[in-house]
Structure formats: C-alpha cells, structure tokens
Amino acid sequence: MNAEFIPYKNQEEEMAVKIRLARAGAKKKPFYQVVVADERCKRDGSFIEKVGTYDPNKEPAAYNFEENKTLEWLGKGAQPTDTVKQILKKAGIWQKFASKAA
C-alpha cells in the first residue's frame, strides 16, 4: 500500500473544551463545581479550571460564578452543556457574552 503518512496534529489545537458540572457532595446531597474540561475526560475527572459552583439543595438553587473567567472561556470557544447554559442565563452571564459576540 502506498499510504501517505500524515502526522497527528498537536492535541491542544484540536481539544474540544466544555463548561460542565462536576458532581461533589454526599449521597443524595449533590453539590456541583462548574468546570472547564476537555470533553473526553470523565464527569468527575480532571479539569482545566474551576469557574463556579452550583448547589441545587438550597431553595432557590444557589450558583456562584467567577464572571471574568467564565466570559474568558466562552470567548475562547468553550461550549457550555445544556444545564450549564441555563444556569448561565439565570446568572446573567450568557446575556453579557451574547451582547459582546453581537
């Protein structure tokens, strides 16, 4: 076979980054960290950076974000999961990002 050798590109150039929830807390009492992670990593596995927290046990559910870091990662192209996107909308961060992008 005359297959042409194509070297792999640097993985950091091709890394798909997600903003997602990483579960913590005790059984039946979830607490989540909002993290920026490579989408190939496990849910509670390694992550690049922590950008906030989410506690669904409180009434109403409590969330806390480091706004500058979150906007920075969204600007770099990190994709939030559906759940995180809804939390960002409630926190008002998604509207700030959308207005900057427009």
Tens of pLDDT, residues 66-91? 999 999 999 989 999 999 999 999 99
Place of tokens 């849910």: 43
Q: Quote the CA–CA distance of 53 and 26 in Å, as a whole number.
A: 15
Beta bridge partners of 62: 55
- For the beta carbon of residue 37, count every other beta carbon within 10 angstroms: 22
What is the CATH T-level fold of the domain 15-101, as seen in this structure? Answer: S16 Ribosomal Protein; Chain: A; (3.30.1320)
The per-residue pLDDT for range 12-67, each reduced to its tens digit, is 455 689 999 999 989 999 999 999 988 887 777 778 899 999 999 999 999 999 99
The model's pTM = 0.78
